[in-house]
Amino acid sequence: MIRWLCAGLVCCALALPGAAPAGDFDYALQARNVAPDAYAFIGRDEDFDTLNGGNIVNTGFIVGRDGIVVIDSGPSLRYGRQMREVIASVSALPVVLLINTHHHPDHFLGNQAFADRPIGALPGTVQAIASDGDAFAENLYRLCGDWMKGTEPLLPTTTLRAGRLDVAGRSLRLIALAGHTGADLAVYDETSGVLFAGDLVFNGRAPTTPHADIDVWFKALDELEALSDSPGFVALVPGHGAISRDASPIRQTRAWLSWLQASLREAAEAGLDMNEVLTRALPAAFVALPVAASEYRRSVGHLFPAAEKQALDHAH
Amino acid sequence: MSVPARLAMSLLVALGASGTLPASAFAAAADPLASARWEEMRRGVLGGTAAVFDAQVKVLAPANAENPTQVPVTVDATALADVAEVVVFADFNPIVEVLRFYPESAAALLGFRVKLQQSTPLRAAARGADGVWHVGGSWVNTVGGGCTAPSAAAASTAWQSRLNEVSGRQWQLGAERVRLRLRVVHPMDTGLVAGTPSFHLDDVELRGASGERLMRLRLFEPVAENPVFTIEYRAPGQTLVCTGGDNNGNRFSARIAP
Ligand SMILES: [Zn+2]
């Protein structure tokens, strides 16, 4: 569904003009070993800007017997290329599949660096990249500047479906969910017990909501939490924030979304205008959470109109 | 209003009337938002009549608006006496005028959302009992494109059966103070998107149970899609009647229970 031409604009902060980035545009990516043969690149707990070049996201890869599966490609061509160099330094095996967990720009704009490889995503993700990809890219150019040089949206080449995927001599469980966006794919590596949760889970950073359906998101979190209780589970790689050995980031994400939903409903029921909602203070529990204030403001823009409509429609 | 403020104002009225005094003699008239288009606004939107910058006219909007198609604005001119008309405009919008409202027996206050094409001063000018425009405003930074983005309605036809559907609700905020929030289903197409002509709500008015008018509004293209208004008045416990129509002649009328 095309909401706005500028749908891509709404998920991101305004860049502040300021210091120039490092001249070499080096993301200094480091592959963290999450479990045997499972790795993650952990981004900063920040908004997009010209200093971090969009490296605010987590990506990862799994080294199988016959090849490598990459999970998300980062915010830019440069990121994708640098990521691929680091992967090559870890293993000489070929990349056999890149998976895009969802259609947000920081998760797929590095696809060009993997243009010679199969790129897979859920059908809803492919459609959304096709419709919103250009606007997203334009927005990141504005926010991240020259880090984006040469970056263009590249569509996934194959569609993935829920269930077991045998690839590179590895058995992956693809879990097709939604809620953060219309199509969110979580990837569970059965061998290592590592769950790549995509943006369904944020850790130590306020979640983003430009395409969120919070009730649907809750169901996805329940499913992921159940998986984290299963015997083989070892670690969770969230879409943003630190790697976790337990379900605490799932609960943290749920707590933020529950508060956000209840707070917006209550504000709408009380007859508040959007400007009044924007100026409300964050509860003590979230004041110290990175980017909480800016994500709250964005979420009001994304979600308050629906809460307001519900309050007005059900007046009498 | 304080005496010095009145003095400054009458000087400006004189300037506005004669137009012959050198501008440098009136540094007080400098636009606090330093917009290159202010003079054009004064002549066009305010009809060249006397205008003063007045902090009593408040325009509340986010300094950085994330979504240029739905920028929340609250205009509050309640500090002025007997406001007859308020015009809201954005200097750098392709369609400058956003709306006009005539508070009549309601408070000189209006909450709504606007589409902005680029970063711009967002202003409200309130014409008080003195006949002078009192101008307040704030600068809104935005990524832009709000006026040339297609409405959500343009992507489907589902809205057509709900066109001009009104939902509203009243809140008693104090013994006398009542707030109405009002939502009207309308695409509010600007006409700036190729193939989609201008299609917008034109006039809306609100009457109390005995027929007296609380407020009248004239709306233009930059008002955001599916407009939501916040209005306040002193008429507790009344069923209000809201009537209006768009520039294609579609009319509506709705009752909003207390
Ligand atoms: Zn995301």
User: Which CATH number characterizes residue B221's domain?
Assistant: 2.60.40.2470
Extract the tokens encoding B20. Answer: 């012959």
Rounded to the nearest angstrom, the gap between the alpha carbon of residue A132 and the centroid of all alpha carbons in its chain is: 15
Kindly state the tokens that stand for B217: 């509004």
ipTM score of complex:
0.85
pTM score = 0.87
Q: What's the domain range around B82?
A: 3-256
Q: Mind listing the pLDDT tens digit for each residue in B239-258?
A: 999 999 999 999 999 999 99
Interface mutation target, options B75, B76, B169, chain A, most CBs of A under 10 Å: B169
The pLDDT confidence band at residue B102, using thresholds 50, 70 and 90, is very high
Residue with tokens 């012959």: B20
What span, in angstroms and rounded, lies between the C-alpha atoms of B154 and B206?
29
Binary contact (B72, A278; C-beta < 8 A): yes
The C-alpha atoms of residue A195 and residue A185 are separated, in whole angstroms, by 11
The helix or strand, by DSSP H or E, that contains position A166, with its residue range, turns out to be strand A163-167
Question: CATH classification of A2-250 is 3.40.50.300, yes or no?
Answer: no
Query: Which residues lie at CB < 5 A from ion ligand 1?
Result: A 104, 199
Q: Which residue has the higher pLDDT, B26 or B127?
A: B127
Name every residue whose Cβ is closer than 8 Å to that of residue A221 and which is 6 or more positions away in sequence. A179, A200, A201, A250, A253, A254, A257
- Averaged pLDDT of chain B: 86
pLDDT at A314: 76
Bridge-partner residues for B245, per DSSP? B203, B251
The CA A210 to ligand 1 mean position distance, Å, reads 8
Residues (pLDDT < 70) of chain A are 1-23, 315-316
Query: For residue A219, how many other CB atoms are within 10 A of its CB?
Result: 13
Collapse the DSSP code of A261 into the 3-class scheme (helix H, G, I; strand E, B; otherwise coil) and give the result.
Answer: helix
% of chain B with per-residue pLDDT over 90 = 68
To which residue do tokens 């590095």 refer? A110
What's at B235, amino acid-wise? Answer: A
Q: Looking at the complex, does the CB of residue A271 fall below 8 Å from at least one CB of chain B?
A: yes
A-B Cβ pairs (cutoff 8 Å, strict): 97
Count of domains in chain B?
1
Q: Is the pLDDT of residue B13 over 60?
A: no
Of A10, A271, A316, the CB nearest to B67: A10
Mutate to test the interface with A, among B58, B60, B66 (most CBs of A within 10 A): B66
**CA dihedral defined by A305, A307, A309, A313, rounded to 10 degrees?**
180
CA A6 to chain centre: 19
The owner of tokens 């999970």 is A71
Q: pLDDT by residue (tens digit) across B131-166?
A: 999 999 999 998 777 787 777 777 777 778 889 999
A17 in reach of chain B (CB within 8 A): no
DSSP B26: -
For B100, phi and psi rounded to 5 degrees?
Answer: -130, 140
The dihedral of CA A254, A258, A264, A265: what is its sign? positive
Q: What are phi and psi of A59, to 5 degrees?
A: -130, 180
